[in-house]
Amino acid sequence: MGRDKILVIGANGQLGCVLSVALQESFGKENVILSDIKPNPFFESHFKQIDAMDYNQIEDVVKKHSITQIYHLAAILSAKGERYPLRTWELNMKMMLNVFEVARKLRVSKVFFPSSIAVFGKNVARSKATQSSLLNPATVYGISKAAGENWMKYYFDQYRLDVRSLRYPGIVGYESMPGGGTTDYAVEIYHSAVKNEKYICCLNPDTKLPLIYMDDAIRATIEIMQIPKDNISVRTSYNLASMSLSPIEIATEIQKLYPSFKVEYSTDHRQDIAATWPSEIDDQKARKDWNWQSKYDLNQMTKLMLNQLKKKYKKINN
Ligand SMILES: NC(=O)c1ccc[n+]([C@@H]2O[C@H](COP(=O)([O-])OP(=O)(O)OC[C@H]3O[C@@H](n4cnc5c(N)ncnc54)[C@H](O)[C@@H]3O)[C@@H](O)[C@H]2O)c1
């Protein structure tokens, strides 16, 4: 890994701030350039404020630091995206194509571009979405990710640009707050429990959705970027599975440790989005091609989330 130079775009986000630290640990701080449109006081060194809508800003950093791998995480997510559909399309597409073009022209050896379970839509059986299920997304975010998957394949077929991708389920972690997705509830619910507050959930109690604990999501990302090129048989994006959970299942697990914790259900437009997503993901391809296997279940995730958040809030309140 010694000679690799990494650029993370969208390093301040829910996934970005945790992945950035993991990459710094693997590659060395001096070899990982973090970037976001907003400044970040926690990443003082090796941080560059860049707007991924501006091709030249990405190109300058890639040239200056002889970048060999780009992790492009910046995007407008599902729930937020529905408020500004055209802007979401414009941003998600332009940022992605800027990254792919810079990578192609400057011969960056690998690019990571995350996709999402939002690529599946109404016509997919809610029960289990397979690798080859129809992509019929119901949100502009899902449409942008499905288009992105086709662009990845195009750049690989036409230019041999090695873009790798995972269709992440909703990511749950204590380190960072989610940024406007449909599964944000699965992080917020733990914060409310630790703060002894009632949680108002925007989904129905029995809406099962695919979720993944942060450590598993990070490990999957690092693993897919490390496997030999020839092992990758999916040049769009790999289905990635871990847990399949509903709000009531998470609430019940929390109540084992916080018996007085209460949840009220008051649905909004996010329930409509969730209703178009699969409740389960079949990730056989990932298991076969790179031995993917998740490690965390609901019980382990809940214990970790509650313990870590308890420590975090204690520190803040002292
Ligand atoms: N978090 C999840 O549950 C989840 C699930 C599926 C897929 N994903 C995908 O993973 C990626 C990261 O998700 P996240 O949850 O960390 O998102 P996030 O919204 O928390 O973070 C996105 C980051 O991108 C930055 N950004 C926005 N516009 C930018 C611009 N013009 N230039 C540079 N930076 C800009 C934002 O400031 C933010 O820090 C996204 O592509 C998302 O679609 C996330």
DSSP classification of residue 182: T
Strands (E) in 47-103, as ranges, are: 47-49, 69-72
Catalytic hit among 71, 141, 155, 296: 141
Domains of the chain: 6-168 (3.40.50.720), 171-210+242-317 (3.40.50.720)
Residue nearest to atom 1 of ligand 1 (CA): 171
Helices then strands, counting H and E runs in the chain, come out as: 11, 14
Cα 211 to Cα 116, 216, 226, distances in angstroms = 11, 10, 23
- Please tell me the number of Cα atoms within 13 Å of 81 on its side-chain side: 23
For residue 2, give the amino acid letter: G
Helix (H) or strand (E) holding 19: helix 16-27
When pLDDT is cut at 50, 70 and 90, the band that residue 124 belongs to is low
Give the rounded distance of the alpha carbon of 131 from its chain centre: 18
CB 35 within 8 A of CB 64: no
- What is the chain's alpha carbon radius of gyration, rounded to the nearest angstrom? 19
Ligand 1 atom nearest 52 alpha carbon: 32
Confidence of residue 34 (pLDDT cuts 50, 70, 90): very high
Give yes or no for residue 126 having a pLDDT over 90: no
Give the pLDDT mean for 57-63.
98
pTM score, whole prediction: 0.97
At residue 50, does pLDDT exceed 80? Answer: yes
Residues near 200 by Cβ (< 8 Å), separated by ≥ 6?
263, 264, 265, 266
Encode 196-210: b = buried (16+ Cβ within 10 Å), e = exposed: eeebebbbeeebbbb
The residue to mutate among 37, 61, 84, having the most atoms of ligand 1 within 8 angstroms of its beta carbon, is: 37
For ligand 1, atom 13: residue with the closest CA: 15
| Ligand 1, atom 17, residue with closest C-alpha | 13
CA 192 to centroid of ligand 1, rounded, Å: 23
Distances (CA, A) of 240 to 48, 103, 184, 209: 31, 25, 18, 13
Give yes or no for residue 2 having a pLDDT over 60: no
* Res. 125: pLDDT tops 70: no
Query: From the CB of 175, is ligand 1 less than 6 Å away?
Result: no
Cα of 88 vs centre of ligand 1, distance in Å, is 12
- Asked if residue 13 has its Cβ within 6 Å of ligand 1, the reply is yes
Q: How far is the CA of 33 from the centre of ligand 1 (A)?
A: 17
CB of 51 closer than 6 angstroms to any ligand 1 atom: yes
Based on the residue annotation, tell me whether 141 is a catalytic residue of this protein: yes
CA distance 283 to 285: 5
Site to substitute for ligand 1 among 7, 8, 15, 151, most atoms within 8 A of C-beta: 15
pLDDT at 94: 98
Distance (Å, whole) CA 255 – CA 259: 4
Mutational pocket test of ligand 1: of 73, 83, 91, 182, the residue with most ligand atoms within 8 Å of the beta carbon: 73
What is the C-alpha to C-alpha distance for residues 156 and 283, in angstroms, rounded to an integer? Answer: 22
pLDDT higher than 90, residue 66: yes
